[in-house]
Structure 1
Amino acid sequence: MQLASSGGRRLRHAALAARKLALEAERTVTRKELSAAARDAGKALDLRPAQRAVLSELVACWGEQEWDRLLVWPSNDYLMSRTGLTERAIRRILRQLIDLQLLTPKDSPNGKRYAVKDLAGQVVDAFGFDLTPVYARRGDWAAMLIEQKQLRVVQKRAFDEVTICRRAAEEALAALAEHFPELDRSAFEGELKALQARTPARSKVTLPADLMEAWQLLRTQVEDAFYEAGNAGLGVRHSNNNNGSPSKACNKGFPKKAEAVRSTEQPSEHLSPELILEACPTLSDYGQPVRDLADIVSAGRYLRASLGAHESAWAEAVEEIGTVRSAISVIYTLQLYEDDVAKNGGESRIKNPGGYFRALARMVKTGKIDLAVEILAMRRRRMA
């Protein structure tokens, strides 16, 4: 038999499960408490606005009676006037709320919703909807909200990591294009575009599981390519300019006494060989005694290859700031790199020592850096 009233409905498993939920003995629930539980349920179950509106109107009908069930009996016409929804939409949403175990229907013999009153006119029972599950499951709503909050934190960290990797990869590609334009970057750029297309907006809750690993891999590959292109600092072989016979003395590769230092290149007294030796113990890599400025120049010319700096960088520096300051710039850069490696556990912020030397020489020329001041500061740090 199909009832014409909105109260008639098919039996649902969810309705039977929700009916088993009950309040604590002699527990009185206020409308405010019920409303708070309904709001938590809406957030935990991610209810749509229309579903929340209907649930909110049902809660507002609770009269705070001292019953063991939270019964309300608003008509569909009342819900339509309060929510602005059609009757068909109201019926559909009520079925959905029952399936979510938020409501339990309590049907009357004729399928109508109404209150039962005693002879004194007091409401003692009702036929309509039972809101007890909304309040009885408030522990479930709290647990679900905590889980959702934790998930949002994890997703935020994942999106932050993706953003960091993306920016690092873009910066590494820009550095490759600037310093090593001859290097083929097409594979990296293609992978970058593909990952950008796969990466969802932050408004999305779920980040693909393998996406963060793909961004981290791309960042590592591009940075490694830039590192290798820059000769990887001190981790490469020295430039071999010895084309002589291998039967000759092995120290033939050391430069002879450098050309006489011109009077116009004499540095200030603060840049004496003794001071440079105290500030830059890396001169021990030279393998020859350093007694005067000519030895400093020879050491700088020899150690230039340790930076991975091209001969053109040395020639440019000599032309701009002279051989003495060029040699001191090489020694200073090498010491700065080694100090940074020792301080940071094997890593250095100077990823391209050769490029650093070239930039340092240019700043010395323009007066942005005073070599004497930098060497003195380095010695103070070492003595401290």
Structure 2
Amino acid sequence: MERLATTPFGGAPVRARDFALRAEMARRQERLGRGEGGNETGRAEKWRLIRALTEAREAYSLSDRSIAVLEALTSFHQERELDGRSPIIVFPSNAELSIRARGMSPATLRRHLAALVEAGLIFRRDSANGKRFCRRDDHGQVETAFGFDLAPLALRSAEIFARADAAREEARRIAVLRAEITLHLRDISKIIEAGLSEQRAGDWLSLAERLADLSGRVQRNGAFADLERRRDGLMRLRTEVENSYLNSLTEEEMSANESDNERHIQNSNTDPSFDIDGQRINTGAAATDNENMRKAPERKSVGIGLKEFLSICPQIADYAKGGVKTWRDVAIAAEIVRTMLGISPSAWEAARGAMGETAAAITIAAILERAEAIRSPGGYLRDLTRKAEQGRFSVLPMLKALRP
């Protein structure tokens, strides 16, 4: 292999780490030359590699501007592929490198080039006078070049791609955790707001203060462990808030009137339909549903089995302490959900009176499933309540419309 100068030009000290990095690169090149690289090839498409390094840059302590300088350097290599089995030396002038780095100043360029060298992604191949240039043979081919060697970047491609995959997975986990925190913050604040506005028994101000301590902007680049601790704190607070609200309910609010349920759920004659996100959905076939209820004994109260209902509206179970085992569990969970959706006590009471306890709870569960598409859950529930009062609403066709 051709021997080139590897020590820095001028007064910069030679460090043991520099020799270790160069020795490791030489060993990798030797193994690849003998065909002993295993899964490593020492080759990579340069723009794909730069993209992966951009995703994994935190693992190499690199800024986005350092990546921009590396991208500018690789643009001076004419081939799309970087082959690290031999030196890949580019020798741009400072002026040309600055232009390709979007006009970066010489001082800034030097700083980011030093960061790339420190990360072991490029090497300096200095000439005797420290200049970057090449000597060509009689046929115009590059014979000797001095500048920056990109071979280390290519030789570490497998490592870079692996770290990029890990960075993407970490970003996905953080995104899921951030979304969970945001939902907890929203739901807890809604329940506390309902407790205060409805003048429910409970220390709501103290709960609000604790929520404020856990609130604030969810940092996009927050450490996973910190976000996890915040999520856990919100989950504990949410349990207390939900219990406080449930404990404040009266026996009348908690009781279910099954005779009303059967009367209202089975009463579905003319035009049971509703709007979701501006789209009219027809939910007819009430007579068929009534016939189904007569044929299935387990459906006689609500017209649908609990297991089947949960398969259509699974989210309601997330708000049921201890899970959903009976329709009463659904009704209790609906009390929590309606506060989270911003549905007022008067709208809720009107729905229960018109539909019956369980049917109203099923309606809340259905609204929860389409919460993002329903602009005003409270107004939507009142509209369904009016239809129920006129005998024009049934939960069964509504649930059928929610089936995937």
TM range (shorter): 0.5 to 0.7
- 2:69 match: 54
Query: Structure 1 CA distance, aligned partners of 2:118 and 2:194?
Result: 58
List aligned pairs for 1:11-50, cutoff 5 A.
Answer: 11-19=14-22, 20-21=24-25, 22-23=28-29, 24-25=32-33, 33-46=45-58, 47-50=62-65
Does the 8 A contact of 2:177 with 2:227 survive in 1? no
Larger Cα-atom Rg: 1
Structure-to-structure mapping, 1:1-384, within 5 angstroms = 7-8=9-10, 9-19=12-22, 20-21=24-25, 22-23=28-29, 24-25=32-33, 33-46=45-58, 47-64=62-79, 68-83=86-101, 84-118=103-137, 121-197=140-216, 199-202=217-220, 204=222, 206=224, 207-231=226-250, 344-346=324-326, 348-351=329-332, 359=350, 363=354, 369=388
What is the Cα deviation at residue 58 of structure 1? 1.5
Structure-1 residue corresponding to 2:375? none
CA 1:180–1:79: 2 relative to 1, 3 Å: same
Unaligned runs of 5+ in 2: 1-7, 36-40, 264-300, 311-323, 337-344, 356-384, 397-404
Inter-partner Cα distance in structure 2 for 1:357 and 1:35: 58
SS in 1 for 2:145: strand
Deviation of 1:111 (Å) = 2.2
Deviation at 1:26, TM superposition (A): 9.1
- The Cα shift of 1:357 comes to 10
Q: Does structure 2 retain, via aligned residues, the 8 Å contact 1:188–1:222?
A: yes
Report the CA distance between 1:18 and its aligned residue.
Answer: 3.6
Query: What TM-score comes out, normalization by structure 2 length?
Result: 0.55
In the superposition, relative to structure 1, how do residues 225 and 232 fare at CA in structure 2: closer, same or farther (>3 Å)? Answer: farther
Aligned-partner SS, 2:329: coil
The Cα of 1:131 is off from its aligned counterpart by: 0.5
AA in 2 matched with 1:218: L
Answer whether contact 1:59 1:131 (CA < 8 A) is retained. yes
Deviation per residue, 1:61-93 (Å, 9 max, x gap): 224599821112223233234332222222222
Q: For the Cα contact (< 8 Å) 1:162–1:215, is it kept in 2?
A: yes
What SS class does the counterpart of residue 126 from structure 1 fall into?
strand
CA displacement at 1:41 relative to structure 2 = 2.0
Q: Contact 1:115/1:126 (CA < 8 Å) preserved in 2?
A: yes
* SS class of match (1:129): strand
- CA shift, 1:358, in A, is 5.9
Once the two structures are aligned, what percentage of the paired residues are identical?
A: 23
CA-to-partner distance for each residue in 1:192-227, whole Å, 9 max, x for gaps? 111113x52446564533100111111110100011
Residue identity opposite 1:25 in structure 2: G
Does the 8 Å contact 2:53/2:160 carry over to 1?
yes
The alpha-carbon deviation at position 232 of structure 1 amounts to 7.3
The answer as to whether partners of 1:12 and 1:99 remain within 8 angstroms in 2 is no
How far apart are residue 190 of structure 1 and its match?
Answer: 0.6
CA–CA separation in structure 1 for the residues paired with 2:348 and 2:162: 59
Moved more, 114-123 or 347-356: 347-356
1:38–1:361 distance in 2 versus 1, CA, 3 Å: closer
Distance in 2 separating the partners of 1:168 and 1:186:
16
Aligned equivalents of 1:33, 1:148: Cα separation in 2: 20
Q: Whole-Å Cα distance in 2 between the matches of residues 128 and 156 of structure 1?
A: 41
Note the C-alpha offset of 1:10: 2.9
The one-letter code of the counterpart of 2:86 is D
Contact 1:40 1:141 (8 Å CA) reproduced: yes
Supply the distance in 2 between the matched residues of 1:357 and 1:94 (Cα, whole angstroms): 65
Indicate if the aligned counterparts of 2:55 and 2:167 stay in contact, CA closer than 8 A.
no
1:308 equivalent in structure 2: none
Q: Which amino acid aligns with 1:350?
A: A
Measure the CA separation in 2 of the matches of 1:57 and 1:148.
Answer: 24
* Kept in 2: contact 1:158–1:212 (CA 8 A): yes
CA distance in 2 between counterparts of 1:208 and 1:77 reads: 45
8 Å CA contact 2:9–2:128 kept in 1: the answer is no
Which residue of the partner structure matches residue 291 of structure 1? Answer: none
In structure 1, the gaps of 5 or more residues are 1-5, 237-274, 281-334, 378-384
Distance 1:52 1:58 in 2: 10
Q: 1:50 to 1:180 in 2, by over 3 A?
A: closer
* CA RMSD, 1 decimal: 4.4
In structure 2, the residue corresponding to 1:348 is in which secondary structure? helix
**C-alpha separation between the residues in 1 aligned to 2:194 and 2:98?**
63
Residues 42 and 15 (structure 1), Cα distance of their counterparts in 2 relative to 1, 3 Å cut = farther
Instruction: Count matched residues.
Output: 274
